[in-house]
Amino acid sequence: MQIYDVIIVGAGIAGLNAALNLPEEKKVLILCKENSWDCNTFYAQGGISVAVDENDVNLHIQDTINAGAGLCDKEAVKVLCGEGRSAVDSLIQKGFEFDKDDKGNLLYTKEAAHSKNRIVHAGGDATGRQVHLFLMQKNPHPLMYKTTVIDILQKNDLVYGVRIFHQGKFENIYAKNTIIASGGIGSLYEYHTNAKTVSADMQGLAIECGCELRDMEMTQFHPTVFVNTDKARKQLLSESLRGEGAFVINDKGERFLFDYDKRGELSPRDIVSRSIFDYKQKHKKDTIYLSFENFQREFFKNRFPTIYYNLKGLGFNLPEDRVPISPAFHYAMGGIKCDLDAKVDKYKNLYVIGEVANTRVHGANRLASNSLLEGLVFSRRAVRKILQKNYDFIHIEFDEKSEILFKPNDKILKSELRTLMWNNVGIVRTKKNLKLALDKVDSMISSDIGKLLKLRLLTSKAIIESAIKREKSLGAHYIKN
Ligand SMILES: Cc1cc2nc3c(=O)[nH]c(=O)nc-3n(C[C@H](O)[C@H](O)[C@H](O)COP(=O)(O)OP(=O)(O)OC[C@H]3O[C@@H](n4cnc5c(N)ncnc54)[C@H](O)[C@@H]3O)c2cc1C
């Protein structure tokens, strides 16, 4: 029987960058659901924020802490911003090409709440797709597709691997170290920008194992999303559009964000999302738009090719047409608690990296484009720790039991859950609605459901309970009494 040195659950930026940093001679296996590109990393548009030089590190730290609304762990932020440059440079040294000007200098753009231009990007607005492709091409280790992890094999203070469901069969896969890099929670919400594989299973499994989840109420809603499609994943209109001159307007073409915050379109995304939500309610407006009238067509097409062609496919002629927008769930600041080497407290050999992790690097609100950076920085730290660390590992075997993953009613309940989370645990929350949501989720958990829905429900419950506990608004968590 094969015992791997490391199993990595997830093939986004965090999982693949961990794989890239693990020596070829190590026995490593990467697991992912569906196809490898079906992850949030692939869809990331804006770019990766990084201190432009040593002098910018402190300002990047300060911007991150300001966005985090007092909940950031300063040491975690220092690690992110301090090690960010070398993590990005390491990609470049391995051959990755960010966009450059005619003289070969890296192009840096600006996004909301950054006090200077420090976002590197690739392929215009295709940063995630390009980084993902690059990491896949460089990956030296085997990757198993269409594989869902459905259990963590653990006993006392050690994890022995994972149980998977692959091609209709259950299998135990054993390893000396397990890294969870399974992304966020998008599928819990009716409107979201996330890949369909990102459905909070591993957070649910962590809860079942008794690991601590932290800051789960801190859910970020992106203000500019085209939601009028029947696809589960809604079309994001990147922050950098506003950074480079797009406006939010009402049906008469009037800008209104300055009535809410003096930074207008460049306010942090939670403020823009709530402003749109409030403006629509107060002024009884059905539709709010993003206007691109500041852009020249050729510039727009070259700088934002993904958005240009995606929206062309949906019938929009950019930059002339305005596009109806709505806020939608986008990013989870909360996750499985871990230390600055990405290790989970309860186990000697379990690590979490990327969006699924919580080091408090984002606090109560993530600064735009800090999450790809987080994936790069903390994957390297987890690998470093794994390669340094020695502990006694005596392999044990677990039962090869099968489980009921789906039950007939699950589809209806999943859809009800998404609506419930959107309406009751969304942009503006009230204690009453949160309590109603908790009762409803509890009753779904005790009904006749399959395991995968149960994991979603456990994570939803953790979000709702954290939201109820935090009685005052902070960062992305906004509660009205
Ligand atoms: C539309 C969009 C645009 C964005 N733009 C930016 C940006 O410009 N800059 C920025 O910094 N951030 C951006 N973000 C956020 C950023 O993309 C994500 O936070 C980041 O990519 C997460 O990377 P990850 O490796 O943690 O997870 P992901 O890339 O989401 O990968 C998760 C992986 O886990 C696997 N997985 C999940 N559950 C299981 C399971 N049970 N079993 C097996 N495998 C599993 C999935 O199959 C997938 O391979 C954006 C996000 C979205 C959705």
pLDDT of residue 230: 85
Q: Is pLDDT at 336 greater than 80 in this prediction? A: yes
pTM: 0.96
Q: Ligand 1 centroid vs 379 CA: distance in angstroms? A: 13
pLDDT of residue 27: 98
pLDDT-based confidence at 10, cuts 50/70/90?
very high
Q: Is pLDDT at 481 greater than 80 in this prediction? A: no
DSSP state of 259: G
Q: Show the tokens assigned to 305.
A: 């090719």
Give mean pLDDT, residues 82-92. 98
Contact (CB, 8 A) for 122 and 47: yes
Q: Are strands 143-144 and 28-31 parallel, antiparallel or unpaired?
A: parallel
Long-range pairs for 87-96: beta carbons < 8 A, 24 or more residues apart: 87/373, 87/376, 87/377, 87/380, 88/48, 88/50, 88/120, 88/373, 88/376, 90/380, 91/131, 91/134, 91/376, 94/20, 94/134, 94/138, 95/134, 95/138, 96/122, 96/130, 96/131, 96/134
Q: Ligand 1 centroid vs 450 CA: distance in angstroms? A: 25
Q: Best of 366, 372, 374, 454 to mutate for ligand 1, by most ligand atoms within 8 A of CB?
A: 372
pLDDT of residue 474: 96
AA identity, residue 398? F
- The atom number, within ligand 1, closest to the CA of 127 reads 8
Q: What Cα–Cα distance (Å) separates residue 319 from each residue in 65, 134, 188, 295, 470? A: 34, 30, 33, 6, 42
Cβ neighbours for 192, distance < 8 A, ≥ 6 positions apart? 186, 232, 233, 234, 328, 329, 330
Tell the residue nearest (CA) to atom 21 of ligand 1.
41
pLDDT of residue 390: 82
Distance, in Å, from the CA atom of 90 to the CA atom of 86, rounded to the nearest integer, reads 6
The candidate with the shortest Cα–Cα distance to 246, out of 223, 265, 261, 269, is 265
Q: Show the tokens assigned to 65.
A: 């802490």
pLDDT of residue 350: 98
Give mean pLDDT, residues 326-348. 97
DSSP state of 372: H
Tell the residue nearest (CA) to atom 50 of ligand 1.
44
Phi-psi group of 10: left, alpha or beta (phi > 0 → left; psi -120 to 50 → alpha; rest → beta):
left
Residue 269 a catalytic site member: yes
Q: Ligand 1 centroid vs 35 CA: distance in angstroms? A: 13
Tell the residue nearest (CA) to atom 2 of ligand 1.
44
pLDDT of residue 113: 84
pLDDT of residue 268: 80
Q: Ligand 1 centroid vs 419 CA: distance in angstroms? A: 22
The candidate with the shortest Cα–Cα distance to 290, out of 315, 316, 260, is 316
State phi, psi for 52 to the nearest 5 degrees.
-70, -30
Contact (CB, 8 A) for 160 and 81: no
- The atom number, within ligand 1, closest to the CA of 14 reads 25
Give mean pLDDT, residues 370-390. 96
Give the side-chain half-sphere CA count within 13 A for 88. Answer: 28
Cβ neighbours for 326, distance < 8 A, ≥ 6 positions apart? 191, 225, 227, 276, 288
How many angstroms from the chain centroid is the CA of residue 421?
17
Paired strand residues for 429: 479
Q: Show the tokens assigned to 194.
A: 């996330």
Least confident of 7-11, 272-276, 354-358: 272-276
pLDDT of residue 229: 87
Q: Is pLDDT at 475 greater than 90 in this prediction? A: yes
Q: Ligand 1 centroid vs 433 CA: distance in angstroms? A: 29
Q: Is pLDDT at 468 greater than 80 in this prediction? A: yes
Q: Ligand 1 centroid vs 185 CA: distance in angstroms? A: 10
pLDDT of residue 132: 98
Q: Best of 145, 153, 182 to mutate for ligand 1, by most ligand atoms within 8 A of CB?
A: 182
pLDDT of residue 246: 96
pLDDT tens digits, one per residue of 188-208: 999 999 999 999 999 999 999
Q: Best of 16, 29, 34, 39 to mutate for ligand 1, by most ligand atoms within 8 A of CB?
A: 39
Distance, in Å, from the CA atom of 312 to the CA atom of 328, rounded to the nearest integer, reads 21
Cβ neighbours for 394, distance < 8 A, ≥ 6 positions apart? none
- Helix, strand, or coil here: 324? strand
- The atom number, within ligand 1, closest to the CA of 369 reads 11
DSSP state of 192: B
- The atom number, within ligand 1, closest to the CA of 355 reads 26
pLDDT tens digits, one per residue of 168-191: 999 999 999 999 999 999 999 999
Q: Best of 170, 197, 307 to mutate for ligand 1, by most ligand atoms within 8 A of CB?
A: 197
pLDDT-based confidence at 389, cuts 50/70/90?
confident
- The atom number, within ligand 1, closest to the CA of 45 reads 8
Distance, in Å, from the CA atom of 126 to the CA atom of 274, rounded to the nearest integer, reads 27
- The atom number, within ligand 1, closest to the CA of 201 reads 41
pLDDT-based confidence at 256, cuts 50/70/90?
very high
pLDDT tens digits, one per residue of 405-430: 999 999 999 999 999 999 999 999 99
pLDDT-based confidence at 393, cuts 50/70/90?
confident
Q: Which residues line ligand 1 (CB under 6 A)?
A: 9-15, 31-34, 38-41, 43-48, 127-128, 147-149, 181-183, 193-195, 197-198, 201-202, 236, 331, 354-356, 369-372, 375
Q: Ligand 1 centroid vs 307 CA: distance in angstroms? A: 19
Neighbours of 429 (CB within 10 A): 23
| 345-349-355-356 Cα dihedral, nearest 10 degrees | -70
Tell the residue nearest (CA) to atom 20 of ligand 1.
41
- Helix, strand, or coil here: 330? strand
pLDDT of residue 231: 86
pLDDT tens digits, one per residue of 123-159: 999 999 999 999 999 999 999 999 999 999 999 999 9
Catalytic residue among 118, 163, 269, 322: 269
pLDDT of residue 321: 97
pLDDT of residue 112: 80
Q: Ligand 1 centroid vs 41 CA: distance in angstroms? A: 4
- Helix, strand, or coil here: 476? coil
State phi, psi for 28 to the nearest 5 degrees.
-125, 140
Neighbours of 59 (CB within 10 A): 16
Which H or E run includes 186?
none
Q: Ligand 1 centroid vs 214 CA: distance in angstroms? A: 19
Q: Are strands 169-180 and 3-9 parallel, antiparallel or unpaired?
A: parallel
pLDDT tens digits, one per residue of 340-350: 999 999 999 99
- The atom number, within ligand 1, closest to the CA of 36 reads 49
Structural domains of the chain ordered from first start:
1-218+333-403 (3.50.50.60), 226-329 (3.90.700.10), 410-480 (1.20.58.100)
Distance, in Å, from the CA atom of 183 to the CA atom of 200, rounded to the nearest integer, reads 8
Task: Work out the percent of the chain whose per-residue pLDDT is above 90.
Answer: 91
Q: Best of 171, 371, 378 to mutate for ligand 1, by most ligand atoms within 8 A of CB?
A: 371
Supply the mean pLDDT for the chain: 96
